């Protein structure tokens, strides 16, 4: 009992400390004031308080998750079947992502000039990121087309496809420089780069933290929860949500490590509010965006390890619902 109380106190205090740090970083990075500052603070503290509250109420939430899952399962023709093992494409592609992250990080340390040229605006890796997101969207739609009788799965896949198209389009300013169209005056007035994008409205860094939160949830938190939290695994399976395998968490952590090392090597360790070089503080961001886009493509092109509908519709032939590795 005492051990649980101490653990709860440590988690809550750590959350409060993180909230104070994030608030300070956001204010320095965005030079926010007035409504922008209040909105940013509200987002940060809503996240901190929400996560702290969820931790304290985790046992009750687990019971609630089981109840919701039970009701959702009543409407399923058959449980959603997921493959426990990675296929050859996923294994080789995951290795390629890790090697790319390591190689590009070493390049940033050894030859910052070449690294920054590769990650310039309209450079090969920016367009590469966009193509990977568009590929991930196409794979999600392909799986949705095959998911007969899986309305929930189709809805999630359509949502992910829309998200990937949006992020890919924003990455290349929706083809603005390729097609040569201008930016509407109202948007240009609030876009710090004068581009036809939303993620540069008011600040280059305004979407950094929400973007990191979403990608961390999809590629790190949910894979770990699906593997190690039985109640959440049952709920996610009942919701038919496309969950990345648990190895995604390791690859995401590795990508974040490459991001941190690259930022330190270039002297622009965003999202920290410090800079000791002449480089613009976005090249490390571009590296992380490329690696994350690659991870989404790998898992989407592997169809999130979801078995074909014909197999998952027959309980007698469906594989055991084992935690993914």
Q: For position 2, what pLDDT does the model report?
A: 76
What is the residue whose two structure tokens read 């590929």? 135
Q: For residue 217, which phi and psi values (nearest 5 degrees)?
A: -65, -45
CA–CA separation, 179 and 196 (whole Å): 12
Residue 46 neighbours by CB distance under 10 Å: 11
CB contact at 8 A, 91 and 248:
no
pLDDT of residue 182: 65
CA distance 108 to 260: 11
Q: Which of 310, 320, 303, 280 is nearest to 117 (CA)?
A: 280
Give the Cβ contact number of residue 317 at 10 Å.
Answer: 12
How much is the pLDDT for 313?
A: 46
**What is the pLDDT tens value at each position of the chain, 325 positions in all?**
777 788 888 888 988 898 888 777 666 655 555 566 676 677 778 878 888 888 888 889 899 999 999 999 988 888 899 999 999 999 999 999 999 999 999 999 999 999 999 998 778 998 999 999 999 999 999 999 998 889 999 999 999 999 999 999 888 877 777 776 666 666 656 665 666 666 666 555 556 677 888 999 999 999 999 999 999 999 999 999 999 999 999 999 999 999 999 988 888 776 655 566 676 667 888 999 999 999 999 999 999 999 866 544 444 334 445 454 5
Q: What angle do CA 217, 222, 224 make, to 5 degrees?
A: 120
List the structure tokens of 98. 């890790």
Instruction: Tell me how far apart the alpha carbons of residues 309 and 312 are, in angstroms, rounded to a whole number.
Output: 5
| Alpha-carbon 21 to chain mean position | 22
pLDDT number for residue 318 = 43
Separation between Cα atoms, residue 46 and residue 125, nearest integer Å: 34
CB atoms inside a 10 Å sphere around CB 292? 27
DSSP H stretches of helix in 57-207 = 58-74, 88-110, 112-118, 124-146, 151-171, 176-179, 185-190
Residue 190 is predicted with a pLDDT of 61
Q: How far apart are CA 87 and CA 98, in angstroms?
A: 17
* pLDDT score for 239: 95
Contact 90, 257 (CB under 8 A): no
Local structure of 191: helix, strand or coil: strand
Closest CA to 201 of 168, 174, 170, 175: 170
């Amino acid at each position: 009992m005492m051990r649980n109380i101490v653990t709860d106190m440590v988690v809550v205090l750590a959350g409060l400390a993180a909230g104070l740090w994030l608030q300070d970083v956001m204010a320095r990075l965005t030079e926010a004031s007035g409504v922008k500052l209040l909105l940013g603070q509200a987002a940060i503290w809503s996240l901190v308080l929400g996560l702290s509250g969820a931790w304290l109420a985790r046992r009750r939430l687990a019971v609630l998750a089981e109840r919701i899952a039970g009701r959702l399962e009543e409407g399923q023709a058959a449980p959603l079947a997921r493959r426990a093992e990675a296929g050859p494409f996923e294994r080789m592609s995951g290795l390629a992502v890790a090697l790319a992250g390591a190689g590009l990080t070493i390049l940033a340390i050894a030859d910052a000039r070449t690294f920054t040229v590769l990650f310039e605006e309209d450079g090969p890796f920016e367009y590469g990121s966009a193509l990977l997101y568009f590929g991930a969207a196409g794979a999600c739609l392909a799986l949705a087309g095959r998911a007969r009788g899986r309305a929930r799965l189709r809805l999630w896949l359509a949502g992910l496809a829309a998200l990937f198209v949006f992020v890919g389009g924003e990455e290349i300013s929706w083809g603005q420089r390729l097609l040569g169209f201008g930016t509407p005056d109202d948007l240009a007035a609030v876009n710090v780069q004068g581009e036809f994008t939303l993620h540069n409205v008011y600040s280059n860094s305004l979407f950094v933290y929400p973007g990191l939160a979403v990608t961390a949830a999809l590629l790190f938190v949910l894979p770990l929860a699906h593997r190690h939290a039985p109640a959440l695994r049952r709920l996610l399976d009942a919701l038919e949500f496309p969950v990345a395998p648990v190895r995604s968490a390791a690859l995401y952590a590795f990508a974040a490590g490459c991001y941190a090392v690259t930022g330190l090597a270039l002297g622009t360790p965003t999202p920290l509010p410090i800079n000791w070089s002449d480089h613009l503080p976005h090249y490390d961001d571009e590296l992380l965006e490329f690696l994350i886009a690659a991870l989404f493509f790998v898992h989407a092109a592997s169809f999130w390890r979801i078995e074909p509908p014909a197999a998952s519709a027959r309980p007698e032939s469906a594989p055991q619902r084992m935690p993914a590795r």
